[in-house]
Chain A
C-alpha cells in the first residue's frame, strides 16, 4: 500500500526488555514524526526527522528512548529497559513538507506496546 506502515502492530514486552518499533513512511516524504498516545489521551510529540537528520527529540521521555532514520526513509524507535509507564500506542507520521506546521501529516496505524 501507499500509506505509512508500522510494525509490529502489537508488542508485549516484559519489564526491562528492549523493544524496537519500525516505521515505513510514504515514499519520498521528507518529514517523519513519532508520537506516543497513552490510553484516553491524544498523541504527544516525541521526535522529528527531516530526511536522516533528527532535528528535534525534545519529546522523548527519557534517555531510554532512541530514534533513528539512517537513510532518510525507514525509521526505528527503540526503547531500552522498558517500564510499565511506556505502555502506549506509538504512532509514526510522515509528511512531504519540511518544517511546515500548516500541512497535515499522514499517520500509520500505530504499534500498541504493552509492558508487563
Chain B
C-alpha cells in the first residue's frame, strides 16, 4: 500500500519554462511534506518543505503547493534550468514523528 505516490516517472521541460512535479498521499494524518532532489551517485538533498497549516511555501525558484482536501502537493520550478535535471522525491510524515514515507520519484530533464 503506497501511502505516497508520484505517478509520473519522468518529465521533460524546456529551459526557462515551468516544471511541475506532482505527488499524492493517502494518509490524512500526514502533516508535513518535503521535497528532496537527487543527482546520480549522490544521496538525496533537501529542497523545500511545507507544513499542513500552509498551502504554499516559496523559496527562490521553487514553490510547493499543498491541497489538503485533495491530498495532493506539487513542486513548481520557475524558470527551469539544466542544472535542475535530477530525480525529485516527495516525502510525507507526521510532525511528531521522525519517520518519512517517500514516493518513487520523478526524473526531471530540463533541455537547454
The answer to whether A binds B is yes
* Residues in A lying within 8 Å of B, measured CB to CB: 4, 31, 33, 35, 40-45, 48, 56, 91, 93, 95, 99-102, 104-110
8 Å CB contact of A43 from B6, B46, B89, B98: B89
How many residue pairs, one in A and one in B, have C-beta atoms under 8 Å apart? Answer: 68
Is B100 on the interface with A (CB-CB < 8 A)? Answer: yes
Residues in B with CB closer than 8 Å to A44 are: 102
Specify which chain B residues have a CB less than 8 angstroms from the CB of A102 in the assembled complex: 32, 49, 51, 93, 95
Select which of A31, A42, A99 is within 8 A of B104 by beta carbon: A42
CA distance A4 to B104 in the complex (A): 23
Q: Give the interface SS of chain B, mostly helix, strand, loop or mixed.
A: loop
Task: Report chain A residues within 8 Å CB of B101.
Answer: 45
Taking a contact as CB atoms closer than 8 A, the residue among A40, A105, A109 that contacts B42 in the complex is A109
- The residue from A33, A40, A42, A107 contacting B98, defined by CB atoms under 8 A apart: A33
A40 to B38, CA, bound (A): 13
- Would you list 26 pairs from A and B whose C-beta atoms are within 8 A, ordered by A residue? A40-B9, A40-B104, A40-B105, A41-B104, A42-B6, A42-B89, A42-B91, A43-B44, A45-B99, A45-B101, A56-B99, A99-B96, A99-B97, A99-B98, A101-B98, A102-B32, A102-B49, A102-B51, A104-B46, A104-B49, A105-B46, A106-B45, A107-B36, A107-B43, A109-B41, A109-B42
- The answer to whether A104 and B98 touch across the interface, beta carbons within 8 angstroms, is no
Given A102-B49, A104-B34, answer yes or no on A42-B102 (Cβ-Cβ < 8 Å): yes
Asked whether, in the complex, the Cβ of A100 is within 8 Å of the Cβ of B43, the reply is: no
Do A107 and B97 touch across chains, with their CB atoms under 8 A apart? no
Task: Indicate if B94 sits at the interface (CB-CB under 8 A).
Answer: yes
A108 and B45 alpha carbons, distance in the complex (Å): 9
* A107/B93 in contact, CB under 8 A: no
List, in ascending order, chain A residues with CB within 8 A of B44's CB. Answer: 43, 91, 107
Which residues of chain B come closer than 8 Å to A106, judged between CB atoms? 45-46
Chain A nearest CB from B22 CB (Å) reads 14
**What is the bound-complex CA distance between A109 and B42, given in angstroms?**
4
A68: min CB distance to chain B, Å: 18
CB of B99, distance to nearest CB on chain A (Å): 5
